[in-house]
Amino acid sequence: MDTLQAMGILHDYFRAPAGSVAIDWAVGPNGDWHQHSGTSLDDHAADWFDGKGLDPHVVLGQLLAFAAAAPFDPRDVGPVLIWPDERSWPPREEEPGQESPWDTGMLLHQLPDNWVATLAAIEDEHLPLLALQWFDVPEVDFADFSDAQDTVVSFRTLARRAHNQGHGVFCKTVV
């Protein structure tokens, strides 16, 4: 079992026409997590998949580096936090209280458009090599090679549909 899953960190990847819509679907109306009422992405007929412990920064970032035939650098521009608002974090001496969105254990990131385009452009003949490279990444524990390849296909499929519809791809993280 992957360390991130053991810690209870889960990631759902989905597409939405805009960041505001993604926030409404994943968090609640206008980002009001009190109004979420337990609805899921399915309740909004969202196009999504369970990325389990595949975080959008390091693990997905490495797949993108493999797909772009470039070295992975975690300092490169990656997913952008769109919820909670970073400005809502209290001063450094304080911790967020229970009424803070930071206490919900939920984060919502938007993948950069160039990441979505790179994922959408993955060709069938490149799938085995990408899956093999990604399978060896120490930060993730795929069940087997076919699990890694199926996951690459899931990302590619979501990215292609998002790209074709002019949508963004988002990652809802729950701790």
Q: Which domain holds residue 86?
A: 3-174
* Number of domains forming the structure of the chain: 1
Residues of the chain with pLDDT under 70: 1-7, 33-38, 87-103
Q: Say which CATH number the domain at 156 has.
A: 3.40.1760
pLDDT tens track for 131-144: 999 999 999 999 99
The residues, ordered by sequence, that sit 6+ positions from 80 with a Cβ below 8 Å of its Cβ are 109, 110, 112
Total Cβ atoms within 10 A of residue 63: 26
pLDDT of residue 52: 87
- The model carries a pTM of 0.88
Distance CA 89, CA 99 (A): 12
